[in-house]
A and B are shown apart, each in its own frame.
Chain A
């Protein structure tokens, strides 16, 4: 999972572009070789899966029992997790950057914990202590996802804030008469567009692909449904997986295009397609 956050925090530049001209040709060749190998590594499984599922299974996926309900549940969870995570993490991260810069390392350490602790440990612990009413609600799962999403959201927002001269911008807004809320709303958030977009993409991808917690929490989210369905009709299940994959790609591509257009207008960093596709690979992994 680590490469994903790296892809987000660092804008892609072509490595080796600044090398000595004489060595350029071999570098270019190797670049293509690596690209083709990596491409084959990713595309082959997809192509075979597509071949196994066949085209006809696509149309019938939508009519399968439980499809709509599980997809709707996953969508709800994705929205809920994104909102809660951003509302919690954006002001916190900004505050730490501005007022408690020395705590940045600590916060970075804390936010890495959900990656270090296996989800199965987290969920078993939570199920032990959570009150019954919360266990009966899908909110519990949403709140668990907030914890899981924290590392990704924090890194994306942190990278966005580093690219801004946060102190000067807030002081400029303040000297012009803007309060804390206005500064956040009119000055900081619009300039964090790319970072928020990255965070959103990561969170949505995470929630749409998460299996362990959902299944132990006894919720039939879309990934859980796919696995359950797999036992009934493997072909259909693979068709559903592929559908999910393609649908997410289209959504991510749309977000990327919108984000890049806006970023170009204000001259800020860009949401690259590369970032988006890299995130997608995480989804298929989990």
Chain B
């Protein structure tokens, strides 16, 4: 899924692959045989809760950590023995990493200086980069005179100035406030697409991952659960963990029958097969059906199966919390125009869509959400 190179200033795309990479810190297995292929020019986001190993993976690619076993290949060559300083990778860090003793211009020019570029050429190129991130007028300012967002833009310019083969972003937006974060992620994405730089982006923010990446790798306990495009990840999560980590997911108590259909909310529907050829390994009995808030339908009904517990206005839609019998709570998105009739306390009927659904082992019954679905 290579992005087209518009300006052609970057080196012709670089591919990166991690092969069976393992890394342990004492007893903790930060990475447990992780493999990932990144195509030239692609932006792949690693998404996962803290401690899932995503940052370790990035740091191994950068050369700041070594893998206990496995390989990191850049354009097919194993870079395990290459020190970070010679990997030609630009990195933007989570914490502000600009050199406080240098102006924005000198910060951006630092990598060029390390590459022995002369003063005038260096300055010109650094200014060009600052212009690209919209900060040419701040060239003479020192980091402490810049806002957090500006500092991260300078850091991005600094990382891109060396025309890196790979751009590594380690939660670069997490220290910024919401509005700046949205602006900057759009800017990063459009620059990355323009330059065609292969990029690995680590984040714990699913919105960031889904909005920026060509593909998102959802990580858990040192391994990738699923790597897919944002739309596929949302619509067809491979595991219950992915389903619940990405987007909002409801769990509705249900009964799995021997014929592979599942009954919940009074409706029997087939179980979705997510991975092709994969068998449903859940045994008949109590399970949870996983369904998104927009996948359920809701109507006011006397003597229905639920009671409205609350409403959150989200703009075009309103998210309604419904308390089902048996203490389960589900969230259902309804058009805001229809939400007026659904005041807290109102009796409603929640129903499943007729389409196939994902299931997960009943929470609380045995180990929750670890068995792959479908």
Contact = CB atoms under 8 A, between A and B. Distances in A.
Given A176-B111, A266-B144, A187 B99 contact: yes
Given A171-B64, A172-B91, A178-B114, A267 B144 contact: yes
A265 interface: yes
A168 B93 contact: yes
Interface of B: 62-64, 83-91, 93, 95-101, 110-111, 114-115, 142-145, 155, 158-159, 162, 168
B130 to A, nearest CB: 16
Give the residue among B91, B115, B158, B162 with the most A Cβ atoms within 10 A: B91
A178 B115 CA distance: 9
Contacts of B145: 267
B216 to A, nearest CB: 24
B86 A177 contact: yes
Given A169-B99, A191-B100, A267 B85 contact: no
Interface string A255-286: 00000000001111000000000000000000
Interface in A134-188: 164-165, 168-169, 171-179, 182, 186-187
A265 B89 CA distance: 31
B99 A172 contact: yes
A169 B97 contact: yes
A266 B111 contact: no
Contacts of B101: 187, 190-191, 193, 266, 268
A178 B64 CA distance: 14
Interface string A32-45: 00000000000000
A175 B90 contact: yes
Nearest to B89: A175
Contacts of A186: 99, 110
Given A176-B158, A177-B162, A265 B142 contact: yes
A193 B100 CA distance: 11
Nearest to B110: A176
A98 B251 CA distance: 46
A190 B55 CA distance: 29
A179 B85 contact: yes
B115 A177 contact: yes
A133 B91 CA distance: 54
A171 B93 contact: yes
A267 B143 CA distance: 8
Given A171-B91, A175-B91, A177-B86, A182 B143 contact: no
A178 B86 CA distance: 9
A266 B140 CA distance: 12
Nearest to B168: A175
A207 to B, nearest CB: 28
Nearest to B87: A175
Nearest to B86: A177
A30 B115 CA distance: 60
Interface string A6-19: 00000000000000
Nearest to B88: A177
Give the residue among B62, B63, B110, B159 with the most A Cβ atoms within 10 A: B110
30 contacts: A164-B100, A165-B95, A165-B96, A165-B97, A168-B93, A171-B62, A172-B99, A173-B99, A174-B64, A174-B84, A175-B85, A176-B85, A176-B110, A177-B88, A177-B111, A178-B85, A179-B85, A182-B114, A186-B110, A187-B101, A190-B99, A190-B101, A191-B99, A191-B101, A193-B101, A266-B100, A267-B100, A267-B142, A267-B145, A268-B100
A175 B62 contact: yes
A267 B141 CA distance: 11
Nearest to B108: A176
Give the residue among B87, B89, B101, B115 with the most A Cβ atoms within 10 A: B101
Contacts of A171: 62, 64, 84, 91, 93, 97
Nearest to A164: B100
Give the residue among B83, B85, B143, B168 with the most A Cβ atoms within 10 A: B85
A165 B145 CA distance: 18
A168 B97 contact: yes
Contact of B162 (A169, A173, A174, A176): A176
Given A182-B114, A191-B100, A191-B101, A174 B85 contact: yes
Given A177-B162, A266-B144, A267-B142, A172 B97 contact: yes
Nearest to A163: B100
A192 to B, nearest CB: 10
A268 B101 CA distance: 9
A190 to B, nearest CB: 4
A187 to B, nearest CB: 5
B129 to A, nearest CB: 13
Contacts of A175: 62, 84-85, 87, 89-91, 159, 168
A190 B110 CA distance: 14
